[in-house]
Each structure stands twice: as C-alpha cells, then as structure tokens.
C-alpha cells in the first residue's frame, strides 16, 4: 500500500506540473515533456509549502490528500486539457514504440537492475539522512515550515525544495517510510535521461544520437547518485535536472521556462544562485534581437522575482549564510587568492579526467568545446548557456575559497556532487555544438 500511495504522490506532482504549464502559458497547447512537467510540479510544491508557511496554514494529511485529488479535477472538467493530455500520452507511447528494440532492451534492463539495487534496502548518504530527510520529516510532523523548524538542522541556509517533496510524500503515505521516498530522486534521474533524449530529436535509428544517451545514462556517478551510500538522497540531482531544463530552454528560446527552472534550482540549494544572478545580469545582452521584448521582460521579471523571494525567505526565516557571515578581510589576509584558487583549478582538472567517476563524459565535453570553439562564439544562445555554466563553476571556486572548512577536505567531499549539477547541461551543449542541424536551428 505504501508503494501505491508513493506512486500516487509522485503522480500528483506530475499532474500539478501539467496544470501549471497548461494554464500559465499563452497558447493553451500542451507539449508533453515528462521531465519539464515533473520539474514544474516539484517547484510548485515548494512554492505551496512556502506560502502555507508564510500564511501559517497548518498542513495535514487530509488537506494534502484533498489537494492531490483536486489536481485531478481539471482533467475531467476541462475537455481541452483532457484531450490534449491523452493525445500527448499517446504520442509519447508511440515514440517509445518506434525506438530501436536493442535500445529499449538495454534501457529496460538497466532500469530494472537500477530499481532493484535502489529499493532493495533503505540506504541514504550521511548528509541526506542527517539533513534532507530530517528536515522533510520535521516539516511533516510540524504541519509545514515555520521560523522555528526552518533552522533546526545545520547548515540551515539552503532552501527546502527537496525536503518539501519528502514531506509531500509523507503526508500522502501517512507515515515517514524512508525507502519509497527514493522514488523521487529515481524519477529525477529518469527525467534527466528523457529530457536529454528529447533534445536529440531522434526520428529514425541513429547510432550516433543514441550513443549520446548511452554516454549520459551509463555515467557512473550519475546513476550511483541514486543508489550509492555516500551520495544517495542529496539534492544535487535535482539541481542537475533543473539546470538541464534551463539550458535546454535557452537553446530553444523558451526563456520563461529557463528563468523558472533556474529559480527552482536556487530554491533547492544556494549552489544555483550564481547561475540565477548571471542569468538576470546577462539576459538582455545575449538575447537582444533574438527574443520578443515582451517575452524577454517576462523572463527577466520572473528570474528577478525568484532572486528576491530567495533572499526574502532567508531573511524571514532568519537563516543567514554560512559563507557571507564572515570577516572577508581576515580571509584574504590568511588565504592567498591565487594559490588557493590554483589548487581548486587543479582539483577540477583532476576530477574531469576521472573515467571511473564520469566515464568519457567530461573528455567529450572538453574535446567538442575546443574543436567547435568558433561555432560556440558565433551562436549567442549556446554562448549564453556556456557562460552561465562557467559562472556557476566560478561560484564553486568562491565557495571553496571563503569556506571555513579545510579546502582540501571540502573539495574532496563535494567536488563530484557539484560537478554533477552541471554535467548533463555541459554534455547537452557539446551535442548541439557537434550537431550541424540543431546548431542551425538555434543559431543566433
């Protein structure tokens, strides 16, 4: 029964994503994207929890279950939504059927094994168990987030999209069963694969395009994040999904969704703030004359609103910042900037070449970025995307420099996780650089 309720909880998140996209977009024409709808649902759940906490609405199982069932009503009351949803599901199934059998066999076998290993026992990483799961259970027990419980578990300054998703599942289940919570990051992993495949636009058997999917799917650290004890249950895979969706939206000139997903990423962890701030600052520069002014203003407004909301919630819940609440003059005097950042650069270089962690992924990314540097420079949208990723990496440099922890220890324990956040996006840009047809479609 717990599994059934857990599936229903995830399904309600997906339904919410459908409603958000269908009713907020200008043209009421639903373009089914499992990954996008799942991510929109997660982000909207986060907003609902924050609003209920701000309004001091006590959440309960009855209230959450009522909301979950309410999400289904528009599919019965709105004939246009119902018909488009059914049509998109049918198209999605047809697309899977047209996929080569050999790929479906490999993909299915891989998922079955991954599912069995993931749910054979409840294994969580230390940070996940002591932080994300603990916060999720607290929000479930207390009926939502409050000023008191928002900062119980250190570090408290990160946002709570992942704990809210945990709480949502707990409310639907009626208990804090830990093992089936892992279905949420498991689906996030699937969403990354599906979104990447959607960008490849595979119409017929194309071994080159399918090889890109296999490279991503079999990246050791990506799938190990779902089941490996050291990393299972951390929030980085959600940032990875949001970044992939945001970068993909930039390439498709869907800046509204790009702003939304960057905002949701920042509502997951502070790690995503550099990319969000850079998006706001650079959006008018890189998209001038490429995007309608009305769409540009809307995307800018949404991104800026997410940034202000992010900062306001930190102030409202008195979360502070473990990195900003320091004496920077003392840090600069004690830590030579060039020496420390050179050490970080070497750490990234060393991490990029670790085949046992990343497979050939970073080697492919580096190779295609170098040989296609001209195409990257002349394509403003791809250049915008890669600039955001570079600024995101520079944000990691800054964190490693100002951190109170020993630099070597922090890099050793976190560098793989933070690179996971940008890895699928970096691989997607590499694909667009090497793909002439797709590059022409997105050429600015």
Tally of CB atoms within 10 A around 367: 13
Q: Check: CB of residue 217 under 8 Å from CB of residue 208.
A: no
Q: What are the residues whose beta carbons fall under 8 Å from the beta carbon of 253, sequence distance 6 or more? A: 290, 291, 381, 442
- Conformation bin of residue 206: beta by default, left when phi > 0, alpha when psi is -120 to 50: beta
pLDDT at 123: 74
pLDDT at 121: 77
Q: Note the Cα 163 to chain centre separation in Å.
A: 14
Q: Across the chain, which distance is largest between two alpha carbons, in Å?
A: 66
Q: Return the ∠ at Cα 379 (arms to 373 and 385), rounded to 5°.
A: 85
Alpha-helical regions (H) of 120-176: 126-127, 133-142, 161-173
Q: Check: CB of residue 433 under 8 Å from CB of residue 366.
A: no
Per-residue CA distances from 192 to 45, 158, 195, 255, 309 (Å): 19, 23, 5, 19, 27
d(CA 96, CA 216): 18
Q: Check: CB of residue 428 under 8 Å from CB of residue 244.
A: yes
DSSP 179: G
Angle between helices 255-266 and 236-251 (to 10 degrees): 160
Classify 97 as helix, strand or coil.
Answer: helix
pLDDT in tens, the chain (444 residues): 788 999 999 999 999 999 998 887 755 666 678 899 999 999 999 999 999 999 999 999 999 999 999 999 999 988 888 888 888 888 878 777 777 888 889 989 999 999 988 888 777 878 888 889 999 999 999 999 998 898 888 777 888 999 999 999 999 999 888 888 999 999 999 999 999 998 987 766 678 888 999 999 999 999 988 887 777 888 999 999 999 999 999 999 999 999 999 999 999 999 999 999 999 999 988 887 777 778 889 999 999 999 999 999 988 988 877 777 777 777 888 888 899 999 999 999 999 999 999 999 999 999 999 999 988 888 899 999 999 999 999 999 998 898 878 888 889 888 998 999 999 999 999 999 988 544 444 444
């Amino acid at each position: 029964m717990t599994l059934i309720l857990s599936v229903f909880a995830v399904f309600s998140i997906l339904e919410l994503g459908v409603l958000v996209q269908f009713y907020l977009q200008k043209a009421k024409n639903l373009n089914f994207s499992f990954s996008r709808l799942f991510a929109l649902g997660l982000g909207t759940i986060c907003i609902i929890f924050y609003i209920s906490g701000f309004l001091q609405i006590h959440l309960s199982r009855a209230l959450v279950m009522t909301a979950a069932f309410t999400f289904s009503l528009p599919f019965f009351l709105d004939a246009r939504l119902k018909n488009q949803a059914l049509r998109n599901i049918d198209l999605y199934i047809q697309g899977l059927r047209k996929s080569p059998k050999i790929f479906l066999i490999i993909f299915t076998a891989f998922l079955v094994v991954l599912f069995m290993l993931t749910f054979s026992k409840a294994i969580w990483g230390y940070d996940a168990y002591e932080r994300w799961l603990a916060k999720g259970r607290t929000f479930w027990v207390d009926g939502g987030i409050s000023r008191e419980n928002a900062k119980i578990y250190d570090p408290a300054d990160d946002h709570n999209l992942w704990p809210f998703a945990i709480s949502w599942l707990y409310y639907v289940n009626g208990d804090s069963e830990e093992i089936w919570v892992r279905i949420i990051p498991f689906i996030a992993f699937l969403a990354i694969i599906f979104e990447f495949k959607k960008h490849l636009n595979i119409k017929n058997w194309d071994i080159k395009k399918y090889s890109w999917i296999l490279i991503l799917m079999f990246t050791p650290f990506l799938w190990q994040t779902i089941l490996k004890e050291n990393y299972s249950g951390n929030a980085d895979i959600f940032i990875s999904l949001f970044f992939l969706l945001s970068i993909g939206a930039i390439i498709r000139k869907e800046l509204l969704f790009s702003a939304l997903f960057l905002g949701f990423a920042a509502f997951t962890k502070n790690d995503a703030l550099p990319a969000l701030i850079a998006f706001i600052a650079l959006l008018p520069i890189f998209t001038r004359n490429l995007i309608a002014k009305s769409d540009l203003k809307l995307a800018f407004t949404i991104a800026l609103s997410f940034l202000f909301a992010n900062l306001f919630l930190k102030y409202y819940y008195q979360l502070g910042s473990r990195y900003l609440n320091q004496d920077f003059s003392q840090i600069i005097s004690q830590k030579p900037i060039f020496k420390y950042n050179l050490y970080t650069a070497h750490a990234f270089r060393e991490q990029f070449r670790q085949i046992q962690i990343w497979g050939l992924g970073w080697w492919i990314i580096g190779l295609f970025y170098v040989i296609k540097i001209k195409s990257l420079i002349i394509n403003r949208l791809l250049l915008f995307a890669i600039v955001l990723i570079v600024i995101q990496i520079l944000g990691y440099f800054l964190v490693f420099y100002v951190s109170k922890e020993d630099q070597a220890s922090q890099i050793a324990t976190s560098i793989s996780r933070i690179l996971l956040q940008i890895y699928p996006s970096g691989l997607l840009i590499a694909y667009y650089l090497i793909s002439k047809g797709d590059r022409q479609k997105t050429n600015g």
